[in-house]
């Protein structure tokens, strides 16, 4: 079972690399925001898989809940800021 979780975790890391491409190469800020939000979701799953591998899932659930919360709020604040100031370049 541990090997299965490890393989799935490595697969998720490869998917994170694809999202990282969009987060760095995106022509404007909105692409980068979407990429980082997707990376946040995958990081959540990687944390839970690590918890399953180390057999201390309850500890890692707390950490992943906090990360989900901060990802949500950060994405919202960024979107609000872009809407208010209207800067989509850089």
Give contact residues for other proteins (rule: CB under 8 A): 58-59, 62-63, 65-66, 69-70, 73, 76-77, 80, 84
Smallest gap from residue 14 Cβ to other proteins (A)? 23
Nearer to other proteins (CB atom), residue 25 or residue 66: 66
Cβ 59 to other proteins shortest distance, Å: 6
* Residue 26 DSSP label: -
Comparing CB distances to other proteins, the nearer of 7 and 62 is 62
Task: Compute the distance between CA of residue 45 and CA of residue 69 in angstroms, rounded to an integer.
Answer: 14
In angstroms, rounded to a whole number, what is the distance separating the alpha carbons of residues 69 and 24? 23
**Shortest distance in whole angstroms from residue 76 CB to other proteins:** 6
Question: 70 with 43: CB under 8 angstroms?
Answer: no
Q: Which is nearer to other proteins, 25 or 69 (CB)?
A: 69
* Contact call for residues 51 and 6 (beta carbons, < 8 A): no
Tell me the C-alpha distance between 28 and 90, whole Å.
Answer: 6
């Amino acid at each position: 079972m541990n090997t299965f979780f490890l393989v799935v975790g490595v697969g998720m890391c490869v998917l994170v690399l694809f999202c990282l491409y969009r987060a760095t190469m995106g022509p404007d800020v909105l692409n980068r925001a979407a990429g980082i939000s997707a990376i946040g979701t995958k990081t959540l799953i990687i944390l839970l898989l690590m918890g399953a591998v180390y057999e201390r899932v309850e500890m890692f659930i707390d950490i992943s809940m906090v990360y989900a919360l901060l990802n949500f709020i950060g994405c919202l604040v960024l979107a609000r800021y872009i809407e208010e100031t209207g800067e989509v370049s850089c």
